[in-house]
Amino acid sequence: MTIATPSPAPADAPPAPRTIYRHRVATRLWHWLNAVTIFIMIGSGLTILNAHPHLYWGAYGANFDHPWLNTIHWPSYVTIPAHYNLAIARRWHLLFALVLAFSLLAYMIVSVANRHFARDLRVRLRDLSAANLWHDLREHLAFRFHDPADPRAYNIFQKLSYVLVIFILIPVMILTGLAMSPAMDAAWPWLLDLFGGRQSARSIHFIAASGLTGFIVIHLVLVILAGPINEVGSMLTGRWRVPEEAA
């Protein structure tokens, strides 16, 4: 068996696209598991919300009380299941709540151990300077999302949004979810103190879910703008091609 030796590239050819290993396997696994889980949580959550589409502040709240928000009736093309079935929606929601919580926990442990958080998500004080924020905002508006000097690094808006999702929004979803469980309220009454009562927890659950939905929309738009084949591919294989302008 012979191995073909590649002929050396002509000197005047353009440089081959540079690829770097950007996403570790734990990050990629959690990303896709989380993508499916959050999709199911939002769909089944909207069915559950359809059962009583009114949100209150405080410990109690029912038909004769004053809601701060009456949501729309969520249409069948965004709910799980499509046709209203509270029991089945709860089955989806409460099973995947376990997936959401325990996969976040596992991802956090691995990401501390492999220094993903420290290397990629640590927000430094100088990142938050007005000059840097203004610079990164201008770069965003010009559709340049990578620092040519260090294309692997996340820009400040990426860092802040990932930190928001991983350390605030998803943990708030989990804790407000637990605060709605009457058995958990008996066992861990601090959950109610933390959020100001069960109906407040339910309202905050909805607000955090809206925040996550907003993140997903912006995330998808930016993936499309940054080059979806390269971005989705890197989240599948880990290997990311450094964009021409950043090379």
Partner 1 sequence: MSLITRRTLIAGGAAGAGLLLSGCDQVAQVPALRKILFSGEIMNRGLQRALTNRDALAPEFSAAEMSPRFRVNGTHNPNTAEYTAMVAENFAHWRLQVGGLVAKPLSLSLAQLRGLPARTQITRHDCVEGWSAIGKWHGPRLATLLNAAGIRDAARYIVFTCADLYGGAPYYESIDLVDAFHPQTILAWALNDHVLDVGHGAPVRLRVERQLGYKHAKYVMRIDAVASLAGIGLGKGGYWEDHVDYDWYAGI
Question: In this chain, which stretch among 37-45, 126-134, 151-159, 162-170 interacts with partner 1, using CB under 8 A?
Answer: 37-45
- Residue with Cβ nearer partner 1 (39 or 134): 39
Separation CA 10–CA 5 (nearest Å): 15
Phi-psi region of 64 (alpha: psi -120 to 50; beta: other; left: phi over 0): alpha
Q: Are 40 and 98 in contact (CB under 8 A)?
A: no
Distances (CA, A) of 228 to 130, 134, 222: 30, 26, 9
Q: Are 48 and 73 in contact (CB under 8 A)?
A: no
Q: Judged by CB under 8 A, which of 34, 37, 43, 176 binds partner 1?
A: 43
Q: Are 57 and 68 in contact (CB under 8 A)?
A: yes
> With binding defined as CB under 8 A, does residue 235 bind partner 1?
no
Residues 108-137 that bind partner 1 (CB under 8 A): none
- Residue with Cβ nearer partner 1 (11 or 77): 77
- Cross-strand bridge partners of residue 19: 241
Residue 109 burial (CB < 10 Å; 0-12/13-18/19+)? exposed
- Residue with Cβ nearer partner 1 (97 or 156): 97
Question: In this chain, which stretch among 15-23, 60-68, 119-127, 145-153 interacts with partner 1, using CB under 8 A?
Answer: 60-68
Residues 193-222 that bind partner 1 (CB under 8 A): 198-199, 202, 220
- Cross-strand bridge partners of residue 51: none
Q: Judged by CB under 8 A, which of 189, 213, 214, 217 binds partner 1?
A: 189
> With binding defined as CB under 8 A, does residue 70 bind partner 1?
no
> With binding defined as CB under 8 A, does residue 32 bind partner 1?
no
Q: Judged by CB under 8 A, which of 16, 125, 131, 183 binds partner 1?
A: 183
> With binding defined as CB under 8 A, does residue 187 bind partner 1?
yes
Farthest CA pair distance, the chain: 83
Q: Are 97 and 184 in contact (CB under 8 A)?
A: no
Give the binding site for partner 1 (CB under 8 A).
Answer: 36, 39-40, 43, 48-49, 51-52, 54, 59-65, 77, 80-83, 85-88, 90-92, 94-98, 180-189, 192, 198-199, 202, 220, 224, 227-229, 232
